Structure 1
Amino acid sequence: MRRLLSSIQVPIWLKKHSFHTRLLVTYLLLTALSTSLMSGYLLWSFHSYFMRTRQADLENWTTALSESAADAIERQDLERLELLVHRYGAPETVTLRIFAPDGRLLVSSNPRDPQTMNWLEVAGVREALQNQTAQGLAKGLFSQDDRLYVARPILRNGQLLGVLRMSLTLQQYQRQFVTLAWAAMSALLLTVILCTLISDQLARSLSKPIQTMRNFAIRLGSGHFGDKLTIRQSTELDQLAIELNRMSERLASLDRERRVFLANVSHELRTPISNIQVTVEALRSGASEEPALRDRFFQTIEDETRRTARLIYDLLDLGRLEAGVTLLERQTIVLRQLIDRALRAVESRMKAKGLSTQLAIADVWLEGDPERLLQAILNILDNAIKHSKVDSSISISGYRQVKQVVIEIQDQGMGIRDNDLPRIFEQFYTVDPSRKGSGTGLGLAIAQRIVQAHGGTIAASSLVGQGATFTIYLPLKS
């Protein structure tokens, strides 16, 4: 059945119709096919059972009658033979004939039987005269109707006394069978009509939510993010609708982030470019003739160019990390050596601000890309240095916790307000807008993406006035 269904090809004309029409036609075809096969099987089973039963009846009757006929033939009692065939034969339905060993007709229940015809041509007679019982289906001699027959030799003590042939008409059965077939066809038609109504309701219940989801997907494709889809069915379609709603919300969120990101990038690039443009125009206007003013303007151009380049590099890094195209060169890393490298890189900046460090680094190893992890730690240290008070301390600790390495970096700055904490890892977000020009606003976002690329997480906590703590969780070396 499975092979049959898989081999059914959808007609080309049906492919052009709606899902509801295709589903309805499929249901109807399957219903018609299954009910037709069932009806055909039942009719065939009934016909086969009837034929076997009537054939068995004929065999039993001819076996019993052949004994009575043998007794009458031995005594040459033709009257008894006449009485026998007329008692068990009926002119229209059951024909009983007894033949002599030479093929002559002795007696018959049908008064129209001629005596002079060649009875050896009648089905089964020739075989019976050769001591073989014959049976089957043949046409009647006069009405040409279908008849079941049995031709049996009449034997006594191994001697052939004659042949008994009994036939049964099938006209009445055929009429009943035709009536039964019409009843089956009527039942089949009624079943198809009922199934059409039921299938139409079922097809609508399935196609309507699918059509709704199709229109919803079209709206999503057109940029209408954030729409809600409601499917009131306790089926897998509910789960699909929930996932589509989640996708819509996610797309809406991504679209908002994209717009904010583009706005922030435009703003961040506009400022240094404007400064460079204004400085170049000032130099063209004669500022280059004053050495002190000229040097200050060149320094401004250099600073703004460096700032723009750093922003572009950070954007490229962030883009690669979010797209997952950055390949990590995984190595075994000693945590203490990684922290020492980071401190050496920011040593001059810390001295300039009078900052000291308090270290508590355990002897642990982890696996990852040392350069990328160094970049993440430097971004967090850069944030801590910017917001630390002068002549304060930065605490760095690293230890093993179950199956992960924990790195904590704590400063003694002003801290982060509770409403700012959830957003500090967003792109271009800065807690202190007045100091936005001192960085690109991407450092913490890049640090988070690097840690996530290593299968870890990063979190921040703070008490206003007491500083902030950034905690990195990384998996241990397996």
Structure 2
Amino acid sequence: MSGYILWTFYAFFMQSRQTDLENWATALSESVADVLKEKDTQRVQLIVQRYGAPANITLRVFDAQGLLLATSAPQTDRQITNWLPIPGVLEALHGRSVQGLAKGVLSTDDRLYIAKPITRNGQLLGILRISITLEQFQKQFARVIWTISAALGITIFLCTLVSDRLARSLSKPIEVMRNFAIRVGGGQFDGRLTIRQSNELDQLATELNRMSARLKSLDEERRAFLANVSHELRTPVSNVQVTIEALERGAVDEPELRDRFFQTINEEAKRLAGLIHDLLDLGRLEAGVTLLEIQAVALQSVISRAIRAMEVRMQAKNVTVQVDVDDLQVMGDSERLLQAFLNLLDNAIKYSTPNACIFIAASRHKQQALISIRDQGSGISETNLPRIFEQFYTTSHSTKQSGVGLGLAIAKRIIEAHGGSITARSKPGQGAVFTLSLPLES
């Protein structure tokens, strides 16, 4: 930018000086033409001496043959015998006005010149040549160059300092975030990142803190999941192992005891198989690898199948069902939806009091089917309510019931895999209500 400004300034000055030369030459050529017409050589010399300045401006007048008539620098010009090689003289003798940049006649300094023919009534009377020195301008321009160069150097130095400081201010928080990410990658989730900058780095630090908190939560869930799985698998395996050892020690010879032990082994094996099946289902649903056969499904049909499957359990506990389901078609996998309803009904039956009633209702709401399953059990406390869909989570009241806390978790994953949602609300002593939403057939 500095070079462009200097070049523009230099070109503007040269153009201005050349314009001035042309104006001077035009004005003087008129005065000289009158004198040459009268062939008054003395007056020509007076005009040249008046307007010429030996140090800055050199003014020369030649006749029509190229002979010098008058000059403002007689001491220099008397050394020249042939003026035709001087720039502009020959062209002016041929009737062309010429201007440009050339060296001095007997010096090496740069000068702007103009050579202009002097004519009157189409007759060439002579030529006028004016030249001005650029030495003063060049000295001033050199000072300007040095001033701009110094200012440019200072500016570059200051910009370097500012850039270095800015780069350090940017790189330091990035380095802090890198070290934080390394710690998080190594499993250290307790740290917190603090970046006091109101920009994108501050937002990035906030997201990294949120990610770290989420990873910590997931790590805790993973540890709890592994502990729960280990506990739930260990119990039936231990029971089977103890029963087999008892049979080996002679219980097999007592028919009644043997049959009871075999029944225990069978029940524990079924419990273990069911647990493994639920774990595999939960793993597939969470990983998103379960393939759903999405099609139009009659909601009444799926709910009726779930009720029939639970009929024996409801009769055993003397629990009835009241159904109010509209004729709706939902988009989903009928078998997976059946599994979700079975888990929800199993939960409602498990916590219902004897002679209670379970209410199932379904209706349209915009492009969703809203299904509610309400029981008349003891309800869920406010402490337990937010966690009932977690894996292996069981309330203190449910520890006396069968199950390992996977049914509601599986039901939630199935409903969410269908693009729906499930929520629960309850008040202690007033039962619980599970509300599902599923997309309707378009």
The interval holding the TM-score normalised by the smaller chain is: over 0.9
Alignment partner, residue 398 of structure 1? 362
CA offsets 1:200-251 (integer angstroms, 9 cap, x no match): 4433433333232222222211212142222222223332222222112111
Inter-partner Cα distance in structure 2 for 1:48 and 1:79: 39
Inter-partner Cα distance in structure 1 for 2:350 and 2:208: 43
Contact 1:148 1:168 in 2 (8 A): yes
Inter-partner Cα distance in structure 1 for 2:248 and 2:271: 23
1:212-223 equivalences in 2 (<5 Å): 212-223=176-187
Alignment partner, residue 23 of structure 1? none
Choose from 290, 299, 307 the match for 1:343. Answer: 307
- Report the aligned-residue RMSD: 2.0
Alignment partner, residue 48 of structure 1? 11
Alignment partner, residue 143 of structure 2? 179
1:475 partner letter: P
Alignment partner, residue 326 of structure 1? 290
Is the aligned partner of 1:148 residue 2:112?
yes
Alignment partner, residue 351 of structure 2? 387
- Bigger shift: 120-129 or 326-335? 326-335
2:274 partner letter: R
Residues 85 and 322 of structure 1, relative CA distance in 2, 3 Å threshold? same
Alignment partner, residue 95 of structure 1? 58
- Bigger shift: 416-425 or 466-475? 466-475
Q: What secondary structure is seen at the aligned counterpart in 1 of 2:84?
A: helix
Choose from 83, 97, 102 the match for 1:138. Answer: 102
In percent, how many aligned pairs have the same letter?
62
Alignment partner, residue 259 of structure 2? 295
CA offsets 1:171-223 (integer angstroms, 9 cap, x no match): 11111000000110111122223333433443343333323222222221121
Report how far residue 434 of structure 1 moved.
6.7
Unaligned runs of 5+ in 1: 1-36
Inter-partner Cα distance in structure 1 for 2:174 and 2:108: 62
Report how far residue 40 of structure 1 moved.
1.5
Report how far residue 132 of structure 1 moved.
0.7
Report how far residue 410 of structure 1 moved.
1.9
Is the aligned partner of 1:477 residue 2:441?
yes
Contact 1:405 1:473 in 2 (8 A): yes
Contact 1:105 1:115 in 2 (8 A): no
Inter-partner Cα distance in structure 2 for 1:421 and 1:116: 115
Q: What secondary structure is seen at the aligned counterpart in 1 of 2:77?
A: coil
Q: What secondary structure is seen at the aligned counterpart in 1 of 2:95?
A: coil
Choose from 388, 395, 404 the match for 1:431. Answer: 395
Is the aligned partner of 1:311 residue 2:311?
no
Q: What secondary structure is seen at the aligned counterpart in 2 of 1:458?
A: strand
Contact 1:154 1:161 in 2 (8 A): yes
1:220 partner letter: V
Contact 1:360 1:398 in 2 (8 A): yes
Contact 2:394 2:404 in 1 (8 A): no
Contact 1:459 1:470 in 2 (8 A): yes
Q: What secondary structure is seen at the aligned counterpart in 2 of 1:112?
A: helix
Q: What secondary structure is seen at the aligned counterpart in 2 of 1:106?
A: strand
Alignment partner, residue 227 of structure 1? 191
Inter-partner Cα distance in structure 2 for 1:84 and 1:324: 104
Report how far residue 437 of structure 1 moved.
7.5
Report how far residue 104 of structure 1 moved.
2.1
Report how far residue 281 of structure 1 moved.
2.9
Report how far residue 354 of structure 1 moved.
2.4
CA offsets 1:290-343 (integer angstroms, 9 cap, x no match): 343333333333322222222222122212222222233221122211111111
Choose from 335, 338, 345 the match for 1:371. Answer: 335
Is the aligned partner of 1:66 residue 2:41?
no
Alignment partner, residue 28 of structure 1? none
Choose from 205, 210, 214 the match for 1:246. Answer: 210
CA offsets 1:383-422 (integer angstroms, 9 cap, x no match): 1122222333222111223442221212223322222111
CA offsets 1:246-284 (integer angstroms, 9 cap, x no match): 112111111111111111111111112222222333333
Report how far residue 432 of structure 1 moved.
4.2
Residues 94 and 294 of structure 1, relative CA distance in 2, 3 Å threshold? same
1:464 partner letter: P
Report how far residue 156 of structure 1 moved.
0.8
Is the aligned partner of 1:256 residue 2:215?
no
Contact 2:350 2:401 in 1 (8 A): no
Inter-partner Cα distance in structure 2 for 1:433 and 1:276: 27
- Corresponding pairs, count: 441
Contact 2:393 2:404 in 1 (8 A): no
2:243 partner letter: T
Is the aligned partner of 1:410 residue 2:370?
no
Is the aligned partner of 1:157 residue 2:121?
yes
Q: What secondary structure is seen at the aligned counterpart in 1 of 2:116?
A: strand
- Bigger shift: 153-162 or 194-203? 194-203
Alignment partner, residue 82 of structure 1? 45
Residues 407 and 223 of structure 1, relative CA distance in 2, 3 Å threshold? same
Is the aligned partner of 1:168 residue 2:105?
no
CA offsets 1:136-168 (integer angstroms, 9 cap, x no match): 111112221111111111111111111111111
Is the aligned partner of 1:460 residue 2:392?
no
- Bigger shift: 424-433 or 135-144? 424-433
Q: What secondary structure is seen at the aligned counterpart in 1 of 2:177?
A: helix
1:447 partner letter: A
Alignment partner, residue 123 of structure 1? 87
2:356 partner letter: S
Alignment partner, residue 446 of structure 1? 410
Report how far residue 115 of structure 1 moved.
5.8
Inter-partner Cα distance in structure 2 for 1:159 and 1:62: 18
Contact 1:150 1:165 in 2 (8 A): yes
